[in-house]
Amino acid sequence: MELYNYIKSLHLIFVITWFAGLFYIVRLFVYQIEANDKPSPEKEILQKQYKIMAYRLWYIITWPSAFLAVFFAIWLLLIMPVWLQMPWMQIKLVFVVLLIAYQIKCHLIYKELQNDIFKHSSNFMRLWNEGATIILFAVVFLVILKNAFNWIYGVIGIVLFSVLIMLGFKFYKRIREKNKS
């Protein structure tokens, strides 16, 4: 049981650093996209700095954290294989797959920005950043509430949370636009 607690602790630590990396990389995408609209030489100076910051965050923190979180999760499942039969764990694993897909999409965006290809607006990136937040909320509630989780209320809660995020995004966008003028 002591080994289980160490493995669980390591899993949790790397999940936290993984999410921190995902949250911050998308913020760097926002800054990098906005820097592209700046005049020279500010544009070049900012772009160079953001590329360095993104590279270090992505390859030193985010990807290693993702691999280690998954590694320790697999180890936990090997210690407690009965979890795979539990509905909450099965749904959690669906969200983990979504998180991995989210990270892969972030990686594609990262590569584009590192090559000065700007396909998305900063507003899109601000909205995209909420994807990891929604996954985080879903996973935390699944893990904490387990079988006591009422799926109808859970789905309604995630939808309402998503709507609140969208409204907050629109409100923030209006404030930013007012401050620009």
Q: Which residues are annotated as a binding site for heme?
A: 11, 92
DSSP run (H or E) holding 72: helix 63-79
List binding-site positions: 11, 92
Q: Could you give the count of Cα atoms lying within 13 Å of 123 in the half-sphere of its Cβ?
A: 10
User: Following CA atoms 90, 92, 95, 101 in sequence, which dihedral angle do they give, to the nearest 10 degrees?
Assistant: -70
CA-CA distances (angstroms) from residue 52 to 6, 25, 69, 83, 128? 34, 12, 25, 41, 22
